[in-house]
Structure 1
């Protein structure tokens, strides 16, 4: 997932998002075919929800870092 012009952090973030989407799809399939109990499904769903919240925070941190990096490149005295 290497987009030219994107930082390594952005690429890593996008890989994490893609992996999380696969995790969600796997959880749904396991639940649909009753390979996991309702309780296990609920626990996985809550864990994925927490993971998604952390990914959002990571994305915000990456954006702040990239903005700061841009400022330092434009104004080297900072």
Structure 2
């Protein structure tokens, strides 16, 4: 059975749409009219990103909590979500 890899993303509510970015996958993002659509689009982009040869070393939620940029994003109201790869 293959190992399930979880990558954490930051969901941002822009008022008229949502976006998700992945701290461990630079420049890999997703967008949508709902939080769920943005997360699904981001997951699809993340899978394609990995399939094209980009390496990813996902950190745990606890490790991301030590990242100053992630801490700031959370303070600004973004939401940390787990995305299966």
Q: Normalising by structure 2, report the TM-score.
A: 0.30
| Relative contact order higher in (CA < 8 Å, ≥ 6 apart) | 2
Q: Which has the higher helix share?
A: 1
Q: Which has the higher strand share?
A: 2
The structure having more radius of gyration, on CA atoms, is 1
